[in-house]
Amino acid sequence: MDTLLLNGTLREGIGKEANRKLRANGQMPAVLYGAGIEKSVSVALEPRQLVKALENPKKTNALMSVELGGDGGTHTVLVREIQRHPVRRTILHVDLVAPDLTKSVVSVIPLRYTGKSIGVSMGGRLRTPYREVSVLSLPANIPAEIVVDITGLNIDDAVHASGLSTSEDFSVIYDRDFVVVKVQKPRGGGDAETEETAETTEEAAE
């Protein structure tokens, strides 16, 4: 199982003042908890190392190994609950959650639309109410994305959640079989879908 490396140290101080001093010294406050950890642990991380690690294709859904100096040991974690500066958007604090690697977890995965649909070429309007979906998988099997090929979609054709391409490693979670992409009639060319309430876009997928 491949994991990304994070180096950290145990820290004792907690609270706003302690966190402010930690950041002034070039470190980032974080908290570690989860499977196999009896009590949450306050740690300090290297900000640039974390930012670099999060540039991986899976982003926060990638498993990472955090190595803590002293008696902190090594823990396999997922990065969760990222707090950012409201203006600069720099990371101020993160939660590191150690998952049970033998149990499935729910993750939010982006959808990537590819191709140019037949219907759009004929003047239809592409609707993509969803840009991400929830999937269930083991922590090591979380996908980076789900690719949706819209090339074959004609006017009034749609792809539902049940039609997304998955594998034996993960499954898409939904209470009802919702539409993730649809090609609607051109404006003025018939009854438009007026029941769509989710945020949509008319731009064709690249």
Query: CA-CA distance, 32 to 94, in Å (whole number)?
Result: 9
Query: CA-CA distance, 206 to 204, in Å (whole number)?
Result: 6
pLDDT score of 188 = 65
Give me the residue label for tokens 């991380």: 45
148: β partners: 113
pLDDT score of 47 = 93
pLDDT score of 1 = 65
Of 10, 95, 100, 19, the closest CA to residue 60 belongs to: 95
- A 10 A CB-CB count for 191 gives 7
Q: What is the pLDDT of residues 130-139, one digit of tens each?
A: 999 999 999 9
7: β partners: 67
Q: Which long-range contacts (CB under 8 A, 24 or more apart) does 18-23 make?
A: 19/92, 19/93, 23/92
CATH class of the 105-184 domain in this structure: mainly beta
Three-class DSSP category at 172: strand
Of 117, 178, 108, the closest CA to residue 145 belongs to: 108
CA 192 to the chain's CA centroid: 32
User: Regarding the domain with residue range 4-98, which homologous superfamily does it belong to in the CATH classification?
Assistant: Ribosomal Protein L25; Chain P (2.40.240.10)
Q: Which amino acid is at 89?
A: R
Q: Are 149 and 114 in contact (CB under 8 A)?
A: yes
pLDDT score of 21 = 86
Read off the pTM. Answer: 0.81
Q: Which amino acid is at 201?
A: T
pLDDT score of 187 = 77
pLDDT score of 192 = 39
Q: Which residues of the chain have pLDDT under 70?
A: 1, 188-206
DSSP code, position 15? S
Q: Cα separations (Å) of 90 from 48, 94, 108? A: 10, 11, 22
Q: Could you state, in order of their start, the residue ranges of all structural domains in the chain?
A: 4-98, 105-184
